[in-house]
Chain A
Amino acid sequence: MGTNPYRLADRRQRLARGRLEGPLPRLARAAPLVGAVAAVWLSGGLYTTLLAGGPTAWAAGFTGLVARIGLVVGALLALTTYDALVRGPDRGVLDIHPLLPGPWLAARVEGLVRDRLPWLLVAAVFLVPVLPNTKAFGLGAIVLLGAWVAGLGAGLGVNLAAPGLATRPALAGLFDAIRGPNPRMQAALLYAPGVALALSGTATVAAAWGAGRLLLGDPVGALGLAAPFVVGALGVVLAVRSAPAMAGIGAVLGEIEAAWAQAEDPEDARAVYLEWSVRLAPAPLRLALRKELRHLWRSHRGWVTASWGLALLAGIAGWSSASDGIGRFAQVGATALAAFGYVGVRLGAGDPPWLDTFLPLRGRIPARALAVFSAMQVVVAVGTATLLVRQGSEAFGVFARLELLAVTLAAVAAWAGDALRARGGLVYLPAALLLWAIGGVA
């Protein structure tokens, strides 16, 4: 433990963070698991459709199921590995000091394994409907583990090796063909996440195919099942060999950032989530709407990211052809909108008391309602889109009802937050409950 300074620093930071954060963030980390359980419950129809039929159809459905879950797991690992290695917060701190490649890589891998291992458990929850068939469950678990290993290994190997590969004369022609205006090393870094994604995805699909063949008694399937572990192992070997090159990565990234800084409009750099929608708003509201969207993103980003999770839940709820699917989607969608609408109160509660005196803005309440309504659209849109695929035109009725609910909730929240500040919740919450009952359940 004491011989690796990066590991020691990681451990000290983890302990300090744990001491200061208290139990709430730890509980929040269980949210993906709770979400997975909810998603499995809400999407029961999906599993029965895929797993219907005789042994051959069952095996095909099973292959499709584990391939989809495995692809998500592998993709998450491959992409977040890039962030952790190349773009993480460590970069600014460590880039100005010498690098000890071996200890650095060991500490990063250990951190990645520790942080990402729970994702495997979350993914395994999606195999619960297969549990009665223990052999299939076991094979599915191996596929998911393989996808996890392949995502991690490919992410490590490709991202660390990319800049070094770009300097090889033998590959100069290839990089020149794909690099556009970027120097070769920059192009290599830009393309690396895509290559890692493709490798882990291909290996995962091979493993899912192998699991399906093994279910049908074909031993050749074992080769497919082993593919992601081979990719993962090769990735780790490549990473170990390439880690010293990370000493020069700061300059490559510095060049990329400098090029962006030259190309970027300063106002674009300040733009936030959904800010493009300002130009669609009525002219008198644009200034206030821009302010509300920036306030929403910068002060309440957790709510915005939560809205994406709610959209995922609504999408899963909508992905059902069961007869009660529409009602279930309406309930989930209305609950998500009612919960998210509270951010409208929070936006008003955070305004300083002197704001009206020193910065009077016309149309603040409608602009705030519009900002909240705009952020709600991801929930309505994702949910309705999946419902449209599974239930056809019946989705439009629910869509209209949810949009009406969203408008009303956003307006009530914006007014309550502005008039009553933090106490606006006392008005909003009962009103939202009433509107939820009318709009979502009735």
Chain B
Amino acid sequence: MIELQGVRKVYGRSVAVDRIDLTIGAGEMVGLIGHNGAGKSTVLKMLAGQLLPTEGTVRVGGIDVREDPAGARRKLGYVPEEPALYDYLTAREFLELVVAVRGGGDIEAALEMTGLGADADRLIREYSQGMRRKTALAAAVVSRPPVIVLDEALNGLDPPSAARVKAALRQLCDDGATVLLSTHILETVERVAGRVVMLAHGRVVADEQTADLGAEGLERMFLQRIAETAAG
């Protein structure tokens, strides 16, 4: 479960996130969308404990990230936009490290989910950008954390891998995990997420079930809300 209550993040005079209230329950997959600079990455970094809110409370799996950052991290699998990995380990060795620090996990299942199995014993430095992203994804889900946060994590994946990852995320949700997926690709959100949250200028400007968006879909809603925000 993810909870943001009255969360505000200010850098100097600039307000990156402006009093957001958002709750995402167990078993939900939510797409987080917004234009560049809308505050998406700031929200994700606060969930991952890489930034602290200026005001408000951020909870991951029921744990306050400010009060107990280590505990919150145990509940969270996070794929940053530009994942950092150890280039001189193989994907399997890297996952062994992650499993050891997280206290357990299924490496073969994570490799299977991301389609990395055949390349798992090659050094990460030899990987393409897409394979690096798959490794980061595998590391985020290997120990089956209750909350999974993905920042543009499906970018750069070939279509079969992307399809496999989407199916696996759906399965994780069905098993009770909370998934927050930030992306610029609206089609991805429309297809895999049950709910979509849109940010603009640090505020939530839309929070809808994707099933309610109708035939005109997410793109129209996105453009309409952007225009409304710019006008108002």
A sample of 7 inter-chain contacts (CB < 8 A) reads A12-B88, A12-B93, A98-B102, A99-B70, A259-B12, A262-B11, A263-B12
A244 to B68: give the CA distance in the assembly, Å. Answer: 11
Q: How far is the CB of B7 from chain A (nearest CB, A)?
A: 14
Encode contact with B along A87-106: 1 for CB under 8 Å, 0 otherwise: 00101111111111000000
Give the residue among A13, A91, A93, A97 with the most B Cβ atoms within 10 A: A97
Assess the B84–A255 pair: CB atoms within 8 A.
no
Q: Are B50 and A93 in contact (CB under 8 A)?
A: no
* Chain-B contact segment, one of A1-9, A122-130, A335-343, A349-357: A1-9
| A20→B12 CA distance, assembly (Å) | 46
Residues 87 to 133 of chain B near chain A (Cβ within 8 Å): 88-89, 93-94, 96-98, 100-103, 123
Chain B 5-30 per-residue mask, 1 if CB under 8 angstroms from chain A, else 0: 00000011010000000000000000
Check A16 against B88 for contact (C-beta < 8 Å).
yes
A392 close to B (CB within 8 Å): no
Greatest chain B CB density within 10 A among A17, A92, A98, A251 is at A98
Q: Size of chain A's interface in residues, with CB distance under 8 A?
A: 33
Contacts of B180 in A (CB 8 A): none
> Measured between C-beta atoms, what is the minimum distance from A5 to chain B in Å?
3
Tell whether, in the assembled complex, residue B86 and residue A13 are in contact, meaning their CB atoms are under 8 Å apart. Answer: yes
State whether B12 touches A97 (Cβ < 8 A): no
Binds A, one of B73-81, B194-202, B224-232: B73-81
- Given A254-B45, A262-B11; A96-B80 close (CB under 8 Å): yes
A-B contact count (CB 8 A): 86
Closest 3 CB pairs of A and B: A92-B84, A5-B100, A247-B70
Residues in B with CB closer than 8 Å to A17 are: 88
In the complex where A98-B70, A251-B52 touch, is A5 in contact with B101 (Cβ < 8 A)? yes
Interface size on B, residues (CB 8 A): 32
B89-A95 in contact (CB<8A): no
Are A244 and B86 in contact (CB-based, < 8 A)? no
* Complex: A263 Cα to B70 Cα, angstroms: 30
Q: Is B147 an interface residue (CB 8 A)?
A: no
Assembly CA distance A14 to B52 (angstroms): 35
- Across-interface contacts of B93 in A (CB, < 8 A): 9, 12
B89 with A254: CB separation less than 8 A: no
Judge if A258 is at the interface, Cβ distance under 8 Å. Answer: yes
Interface pair A9/B12, CB less than 8 Å apart = no
Which residues of B come within 8 Å of A, CB atoms?
11-12, 14, 45, 48-52, 69-70, 73-74, 76, 78, 80, 84-86, 88-89, 93-94, 96-98, 100-103, 123, 139
Add 5 more A-B contacts to A6-B97, A16-B89, A259-B12 (CB < 8 A): A9-B86, A96-B50, A97-B139, A247-B70, A250-B69
* Contact indicator A96/B48 (Cβ below 8 Å): yes
The minimal Cβ–Cβ distance linking B53 to chain A, given in whole angstroms, is 10
Q: Do the beta carbons of B97 and A254 come within 8 Å of each other?
A: no
A10 and chain B: residue at smallest CB distance:
B86
- Nearest B residue (CB) for A16: B88
Taking the nearest CB of chain A, how far is it from the CB of B70, in angstroms? Answer: 4
Do the beta carbons of A255 and B52 come within 8 Å of each other? yes
What is the bound-complex CA distance between A45 and B192, given in angstroms?
75
Residues 235-265 of chain A: 1 if any B CB is under 8 Å from the residue's CB, otherwise 0? 0000000001001101100110011011100
Tell me if B51 and A98 are in contact (CB < 8 A).
no
Known pairs A247-B70, A263-B12; A95 contacts B50 (CB<8 A):
yes
How far does the alpha carbon of A432 sit from the alpha carbon of B163 in the complex, in Å?
61
**Residues of chain B lying within 8 A (CB to CB) of residue A96:** 48, 50, 73, 76, 78, 80
Contact A12/B102 with A5-B97, A96-B73, A98-B73 known, Cβ cut-off 8 Å? no
B11 near A258 with CB under 8 A, answer yes
Closest B residue to A253 by beta carbon equals B50
Query: Is the Cβ of B14 less than 8 Å from the Cβ of A5?
Result: no
- Whether A100 touches B12, Cβ cut-off 8 Å, given contacts A17-B88, A248-B49, A250-B49, is no
* A30 to B190 CA separation, bound complex (whole angstroms): 58
- Of B45, B89, B102, B103, chain A has the most CB atoms within 10 Å of the CB of B89
Contacts of A244 in B (CB 8 A): 70
Contact of A97 among B14, B88, B98 (CB under 8 A): B98
CA distance A244 to B52 in the complex (A): 18
Measured CB to CB, the closest approach of chain A to B58, in angstroms, equals 11
Contact indicator B88/A248 (Cβ below 8 Å): no
CB within 8 Å of B: which of A354-399? none
**B96 surroundings in chain A (CB, below 8 A):** 5, 8
Contact indicator A13/B89 (Cβ below 8 Å): yes
CB distance from A37 to the nearest CB of B (A): 31
Chain A residues with CB under 8 A of B45: 254
Collect the chain A residues with CB atoms within 8 Å of residue B11's CB. 258-259, 261-262
The minimal Cβ–Cβ distance linking A197 to chain B, given in whole angstroms, is 28
Nearest-neighbor residue (CB-CB) of A258 within chain B: B11
Complex Cα–Cα for A98 and B123 (A) = 24
The residue in A8, A244, A258 that gathers the most chain B C-beta atoms within 10 A of its C-beta is: A258
Contact B84 A89 (CB under 8 A): yes
